[in-house]
A and B are shown apart, each in its own frame.
Chain A
Amino acid sequence: MRTLLIPVLCAVVIVALLPLIAGYIVLVERKVMAHMQARLGPMRVGPHGLLQPIADALKLMLKEDVIPTNADRLIFWFAPVASVAAALVAYSAMPIGPAFQIADLNVGLLFIVAVSSLGIYGVVLGGWASNSHYSLLGAMRSAAQLVSYEVAAGLALVSVLLLAGSLSMKEIVQAQLDQGVWFVFYVPFGFFIYLVASIAETNRAPFDLPEADSEIVAGYMTEYSGFRWALYFLAEYANVIVVAGVATTLFFGGWLRPLTRYHDHFPGTHVELLDVVPAFAMIALALYCFRLAPRQPLRVQKRVMAAAGVKCVLFAGILFAALFGSDAVREGVHGAFWFLAKVGAYIYCFMWFRFTFPRYRFDQLMRLSWQFLIPLGLVNVIGVAVAIVLRERWDWNPFFSLVPTTIVTLGFAAWLTADKLELSGTDEDIAAESAAVLPGSGE
């Protein structure tokens, strides 16, 4: 029973916290979008909209849950649940710091990829069960998109697996610690392919065609409302966190601190110089909150802001106290901090892309995957394999052998973009390729 206790606790914590985290990611997204577009964003509920996610969640739970008359009720009911379940199960192999992982599977990475690809059933079945043209079109787009980009993402992951020599998430991080470098510096193209493919797999702009509001209303979610709609949203953000976690673990050293090899101590203690950075960052955040608090217009808002500051002080205290605990405690707490910080940075990049790039057309999306990313991924995998053989047989310096790989991949990419990848395409091509996936054509 004891062996089950810790994993079950971890699972409960993740399932309980995830909706809250997803809600706040939505808030951050709205605020960042607003500031990038010179607006204020949510300002009313709590100071700077800090309580907006809670208000939104309450509203969605109280809203009427409409089921269309001719919908397939059973599948309509079940589809959003399948989406969320698939997204949540993927967390069971994700290492949030060395201490906080539900199960260290031997095939952890494959498991995460497999389970998160099951989430597509929620989208496809929900779109079909709604019995609406827009929903069905959104579902079809989603299925085609996911199947195409999974191949590209898989090839990008293979390039890292060759370097790490393991499928276990923990061992991949350990390999980066042993080799002393984050894999993003070894396989920048693998990372680039994964970045693009992961945006497409999570249906986010500029690849958000399954829910493109200007063409097909809200895609597969058109007929959903209230709590079920919220479940789809939760699944989407949970998937974003999953791909961010996978990218962090594979390319950015997981829970490892930047400059892992720098080990200078404070004189007279065993506290490393760089380990106090997280605590000080939290204190800076707390001071910022306390400075903002008196400037809030209402008394309630002043209090909420001050409470946010106190929370940051609390985090700083935990991070600081962990420095004097045993090695396991220190690594657990600080590992979790660095992992979450990297995941946050990755998600911020997702938002940045969303507000920067216009949406792709469907034929462009397919071309990008099949004619650019997949060939590029294949060349990259072969290059990395050759580089590893050179390193193991003839003891070449890894950087020295991987740089030519990168150059060859870059050259191949340039050749592809120059000759083959005509994103514009002729009018006939576009008509032929988009006949099946655009509303109103071909019927």
Chain B
Amino acid sequence: MMLAKLLFYFFALLAVGSAVLMVTRRNIVHAAVFLVTTLLATAGIFLQLEAEFLFVVQLLVYAGGIMVLFVFVIMLVNLDIEMRAVRFNKQWTVAGALAFVLAMQVLTALWVGRKTFHLPAAPAALAERNTETVADALFSHFVLAFEVASILLLVAMIGAVVMGKRRAE
């Protein structure tokens, strides 16, 4: 139990810390590296919750797929110009006020719901056949949403192919 708590705080700190660093870095490649770290730490929390399938999907899709494309595009950008650019539209006051309101809201929500923090342990069968459970849920309860999402992705893919072809003609 002790080990589990330690691991949780390790991953949580890593996720939050690198998220902060990701926002504050001026070098966009460094920011991308910290974003990857955040995603990996989140994956670690998924693994601790015994959601093995989500853990792997987080690694495969976000850390392994999407972020590789991000980094690929970022490397094409001339970083020197971006590094020296001066922000001409500073909005510290508005941003600060909004962030304060949001923080108060989150804290209030936490305070109000503090008695419901103790969740029951997940049933053992869920961890045993995690992939099957996710598949069952996706293809029975949420089949409509699943199909809508897949059609959306298909349309996006066809659009990408059409846009890629146009240049060749």
Seen from chain A, the residues whose Cβ lies within 8 Å of a Cβ on chain B are: 72, 74-75, 105-107, 110-111, 113-115, 117-118, 120-121, 124-125, 128, 136, 139-140, 143-144, 146-147, 150, 167, 429, 432
Contact = CB atoms under 8 A, between A and B. Distances in A.
B71 A107 contact: no
Contact of B129 (A106, A115, A432): A106
B68 interface: yes
B53 A432 contact: no
Nearest to B168: A432
Contacts of B168: 429, 432
Contacts of B64: 114, 117-118, 120
B72 A143 contact: yes
Interface stretch (B11-19, B29-37, B109-117): B29-37
B33 A125 contact: yes
A140 B75 contact: yes
B72 A107 contact: no
Given A107-B53, A125-B33, A144 B59 contact: no
Contacts of A113: 60
Nearest to A168: B131
A167 B52 CA distance: 11
Contacts of A74: 30
> Contact size class for B?
20 to 34
Interface in B92-146: 127-131
Given A75-B30, A106-B128, A107-B52, A125 B68 contact: no
Interface in B48-104: 52-53, 55-57, 59-60, 63-65, 68-69, 71-72, 75
8 contacts: A107-B130, A110-B56, A114-B64, A121-B36, A124-B72, A125-B29, A147-B65, A429-B168
B68 A124 contact: yes
Contacts of B127: 106
Interface of A, helix, strand, loop or mixed by DSSP = helix
Contacts of A140: 72, 75
Interface of B, helix, strand, loop or mixed by DSSP = helix
B56 A128 contact: no
A147 B61 CA distance: 11
Contacts of B72: 124, 140, 143-144, 147
A124 B75 contact: yes
Contacts of A147: 65, 68-69, 72
B29 A72 contact: yes
Given A114-B59, A139-B75, A140-B75, A106 B68 contact: no
Contacts of B131: 106-107, 167
B26 to A, nearest CB: 13
Contacts of A114: 56, 59-60, 63-64
A106 B130 contact: yes
Contacts of A120: 64, 68
A121 B68 CA distance: 7
Contacts of B30: 74-75
A128 B29 contact: yes
Nearest to A111: B56
- Which 7 residue pairs are nearest across A and B when measured between Cβ atoms? A114-B59, A114-B60, A117-B64, A110-B56, A143-B72, A107-B56, A107-B52
